[in-house]
A and B are shown apart, each in its own frame.
Chain A
Amino acid sequence: GAVVSQHPSWVICKSGTSVKIECRSLDFQATTMFWYRQFPKQSLMLMATSNEGSKATYEQGVEKDKFLINHASLTLSTLTVTSAHPEDSSFYICSARGGASDTEAFFGQGTRLTVV
């Protein structure tokens, strides 16, 4: 399958700081990227959907000013958690989809964020 690289795989940061997570599609052009959050023993929760060159669409309850998403190119999207708090500690996963809108998405390896 297609390769999506997410970096970093884990990060520990202090409360109040910002953390940037990168998601790259390595062998295809990702017209759409998705950002998910997963708390322990829970399913993936979609945070936002972004299409290259346009503003991200956030799910209800997700603060767009706190979770900044940039999808500036067809191979890169970034999620910045601003002013992180301990409750933001979670597993963040990106996925990318290219080509037809009915195709599957491929996932990055995920980023385990711990805010202390």
Chain B
Amino acid sequence: RKEVEQDPGPFNVPEGATVAFNCTYSNSASQSFFWYRQDCRKEPKLLMSVYSSGNEDGRFTAQLNRASQYISLLIRDSKLSDSATYLCVVNGGLDSNYQLIWGAGTKLIIKP
């Protein structure tokens, strides 16, 4: 089982719709979690951190479910510019020497 798993997609979503995707992680000792966005042929950029209490930033909401070991990202009122690959990142904690462990990414395509 991969340490961090994401559905690769692509998710084809009409503009204005709401879309959500999850990321599961295997190490229960993982400490911190992040969502990054990567546009084609560019470097990943931090989208948001994921806190235990959830985190909302405009149209984006991230949730953490420690019991089931997954994090989620919800995008409301999707825009064409949201088309990108969304990468889930998990900090492995002390056992993993605090390494950042990357999911393979979920590709999102917003269609007009």
Contacts and interface: CB of A to CB of B under 8 A. Distances in A.
Interface band, chain A: 20 to 34
B41 interface: yes
Contact of A108 (B32, B43, B89, B102): B43
B5 to A, nearest CB: 11
Contacts, number: 49
Contacts of A1: 45-46
Label chain B's interface by main secondary structure: loop
Nearest to A108: B43
Nearest to A103: B32
Q: B interface, how many residues as a size bin? A: 20 to 34
B31 A106 contact: no
A107 B44 contact: yes
Contacts of B32: 102-104
Contacts of B46: 1, 104, 106
Contacts of A43: 87, 102-105
A106 B34 CA distance: 12
A107 B98 contact: no
A84 B52 CA distance: 45
Contacts of B44: 44, 93, 107
A106 B32 CA distance: 15
B43 A93 contact: yes
Interface string A32-51: 10100000001110100100
Given A103-B32, A110-B43, A112-B41, 11 more contacts: A44-B44, A46-B99, A49-B99, A95-B100, A97-B100, A101-B98, A102-B91, A102-B93, A104-B49, A109-B42, A109-B43
